[in-house]
Structure 1
Amino acid sequence: MLTGMLDGLAAQTRPADAIFVIDNASTDHTRAVLDARSDLPMHITTSGENLGGAGGFHLGMLQAYDAGHDRILLMDDDVVPAPDFLEVMAAHQGPCQMAVREDLQGRLVEKAAIRFDLDNPLAIKPKTASVDSTYATRAEMPAEVEVENVAFEGFMVRRDVIAAIGLPDPSFFIFYDDVDFAIRARTAGFPIVCLRDAVLVRQLDFNQQHALDGWKGFYMYRNLFVVHFRYGSNLLVRLKPWLIMIMVVLLSPLRGGRGEAANVIKAIRSAREMRHLDPASSPAALRPSR
């Protein structure tokens, strides 16, 4: 998948000025794949440990920011950009843009939330409308759709946004780091739009259903709770994680079992310690702009 994504970047009508690759302590032949790409302006960092997606995006954005770039695009290795992808993204002058993803069959699979509800305590799942739940096809979309959260899989942000709100929070490790960043951007007055004509093709099926009794389940619960603790607009929303925890524990004999119950209890304990942004992600941690 990494090879396919790099091939896509090499074929861009508007080439990237620099590509910062964070190799998260891989143990396969990733480095050999990267070293073979002399056709791309890559800066490769191999971390000493697995930083998770959140830590990787934090480090990559920091490196690109320190290098002085004015627009920074975040991507994962399981998407392939259309040839005019960077041209479309860079032509838009807004502060934050999100690509619109499709699957290998050309079906719309963009999960960015048009509505992410942190006002209603009865909205157990805060994402109440997404791009692909609102529009059946790309052709039905307007050229721009304003969204309330994003995925770090085709998200471009302007330098002044980073200077104002800081970097992705690495303490999330995986899941919701992109949601947290989008909320901070919008709260600071920077709108986010999905660009219909910025096409990314996802190489894997879009399966967001993970076993909630496993390690991913812990991070899904914890980081969802963190977002509510940090950004819930009222006391009832900020108390919602406790309600979810109680419901999961009470229903565990019927679904999820002891593993999910243990995860959700551990998750809420950990989330309470993450009520505030990691200092490494604050604007104060950034070097002054050149």
Structure 2
Amino acid sequence: MTDPHDPTAQSFDPASATIAIVTFNRSGLLTRLLTSIGQMDPRPGHVVVIDNASTDDTTEVVDSFRERIGTTLVYRRMETNTGGSGGFSEGMRVAYELGSEWIWLMDDDVEVIPDGLAKMARWAPRFKSIQGRRYDYDGSEFYWQYRVAVPLGIPIPFAPAGFDESGYKPMNSGCFEGMFIHRDIVRQIGLPDPRFFIYWDDQLYGWLASRKTQSVIVDEFVLRRTREIKQWDLGIRHLNASSNAYRYYIMRNRAYIKHYYRALDVYRPVLFGLGTALTFGKELIRLVFVERTFRGTSNLFRGLRDGRRIARDTSWTPMPPLAASDAADAPGGQPAL
């Protein structure tokens, strides 16, 4: 619960925050997340659920929470599956147009710690791009690679896990499973790029945010994963199982990162190519040691092939900044609930 004597918490209005969730055919997991939001103290002003054209009972599940979640629930069902990238882009758009000062992004396979928003509130007066911590499915402390080697375009796997007395560490990345970001930064860098579909989209978006503000990961546990994922245990680090779709987009989407780097004049061909080679090697290791197979390498090569075509597209442009004037301030600017 928010401490009424904490001046930094007092300067944060929970009603100014929106939780934006992306879901696809996982109504059981979504039920757990919405239940945990209903148990929060304090709760956000809005909860936005973006449904990527689920074929299960997701719509009915959302409707069942409208009267019992304790805050305003906004539901958007996409016409097609736009992937996590398209879902988070739409969720950010809806939250922004609702006039939200803070937007908290989440997948459907987590639940919120009851005082999660109060914990983030303590940091909101100081920073505008914040990542909290989360527990893994087994209750262990999940390690997230919060630093990017920019010339390589890949995360740094050995960035220190510990925190000092400040309680935070600078980051130049992002994770849509828990990104807490201020509307000012969203306005400056625009919405997440839906063209990624899945993978690299949140890392890039977090990096773009870090170019506009001091981005941090804070020593606050605010989420808990609710889905078990097959892993190869490397001690404090884990290598998760993947899928053929992920393998394809991991390689294909390197082309989108290359486009952004070129647009921002940070692209270094040799180093970026090394980052792509290291990514390819990591995915081979994941196949062999986590999934115990060699099948799936064709998806890596297919992603590389399609990425080369995307990289040659001279008509490509980055996602634009949002208009300086907030859409929510205009007559009729707020979307229907």
> What range describes the TM-score normalised by the shorter chain of this pair?
0.7 to 0.9
Contact preservation (8 Å) 2:102, 2:183: yes
Distance in 2 (alpha carbons) for counterparts of 1:178 and 1:9: 23
Distance in 2 (alpha carbons) for counterparts of 1:45 and 1:135: 37
**Structure 1 residue 51 and structure 2 residue 82: aligned?**
yes
Q: What per-residue deviation string (whole Å, max 9, x for no partner) do you get for residues 149-203 of structure 1?
A: 1210111111111111111011111111111111111122x12111212421111
* Counterpart for residue 237 of structure 1: 271
The structure-2 alpha-carbon separation of the partners of 1:183 and 1:272, relative to structure 1 and needing over 3 Å to count, comes to farther
Q: Percent identity?
A: 27
Structure 1 segment 1-290 matched on structure 2, within 5 A: 1-37=29-65, 38-40=67-69, 41-92=72-123, 93=125, 94-113=127-146, 115-119=147-151, 126-129=154-157, 134-135=160-161, 143-188=167-212, 190-206=213-229, 208-211=240-243, 214-231=244-261, 232-240=266-274, 257-273=297-313, 276-278=316-318, 281-284=319-322, 288=326, 290=329
Q: Cα offset for 1:227?
A: 1.7
Q: Cα offset for 1:20?
A: 0.8
Q: What per-residue deviation string (whole Å, max 9, x for no partner) do you get for residues 70-89 of structure 1?
A: 11111111011111101111
The structure-2 alpha-carbon separation of the partners of 1:89 and 1:243, relative to structure 1 and needing over 3 Å to count, comes to closer
Distance in 1 (alpha carbons) for counterparts of 2:317 and 2:221: 31
Contact preservation (8 Å) 1:23, 1:46: yes
* Counterpart for residue 290 of structure 2: none
Distance in 2 (alpha carbons) for counterparts of 1:200 and 1:264: 34
Distance in 2 (alpha carbons) for counterparts of 1:169 and 1:10: 30
Contact preservation (8 Å) 2:173, 2:210: no
Contact preservation (8 Å) 2:129, 2:216: yes
Contact preservation (8 Å) 2:171, 2:210: no
Distance in 1 (alpha carbons) for counterparts of 2:241 and 2:115: 32
Q: What per-residue deviation string (whole Å, max 9, x for no partner) do you get for residues 4-41 of structure 1?
A: 11111111111110011101100001111111002232
* Counterpart for residue 252 of structure 1: none
- Report the more deviating stretch, 23-32 or 191-200: 191-200
Q: Which amino acid aligns with 1:14?
A: P
Distance in 1 (alpha carbons) for counterparts of 2:139 and 2:314: 39
Distance in 2 (alpha carbons) for counterparts of 1:210 and 1:274: 32
Contact preservation (8 Å) 1:12, 1:83: yes
Q: Which amino acid aligns with 2:268?
A: N
- SS of the residue 1:4 aligns to: helix
Q: Cα offset for 1:259?
A: 4.5
Q: What per-residue deviation string (whole Å, max 9, x for no partner) do you get for residues 36-71 of structure 1?
A: 002232100111111111111111111111111111
- SS of the residue 1:171 aligns to: helix
Q: TM-score, normalised by structure 1?
A: 0.82
Q: Cα offset for 1:286?
A: 7.3
Q: What per-residue deviation string (whole Å, max 9, x for no partner) do you get for residues 235-257 of structure 1?
A: 42344477679999xxxxxx655
Contact preservation (8 Å) 1:226, 1:274: no
- SS of the residue 1:9 aligns to: helix
More helix, by proportion = 1
Q: How many residues align?
A: 271
Distance in 2 (alpha carbons) for counterparts of 1:99 and 1:184: 18
Distance in 1 (alpha carbons) for counterparts of 2:112 and 2:280: 43
Contact preservation (8 Å) 1:146, 1:191: yes
Please give the root-mean-square deviation of Cα atoms over the aligned residues, in Å: 3.0
Distance in 1 (alpha carbons) for counterparts of 2:191 and 2:247: 25
Q: What per-residue deviation string (whole Å, max 9, x for no partner) do you get for residues 233-289 of structure 1?
A: 4242344477679999xxxxxx655453333212332344499554xx411467635
Contact preservation (8 Å) 1:85, 1:199: yes
Distance in 2 (alpha carbons) for counterparts of 1:245 and 1:175: 12
Moved over 3 A (4+): 139-142, 205-209, 238-248, 255-260, 271-278, 284-289
Distance in 1 (alpha carbons) for counterparts of 2:189 and 2:257: 16
- Report the more deviating stretch, 262-271 or 55-64: 262-271
Any unmatched runs of 5+ in structure 1? 249-254
Distance in 1 (alpha carbons) for counterparts of 2:259 and 2:60: 42
Q: What per-residue deviation string (whole Å, max 9, x for no partner) do you get for residues 80-123 of structure 1?
A: 1111101111232211111211113321213242x31122x5xx
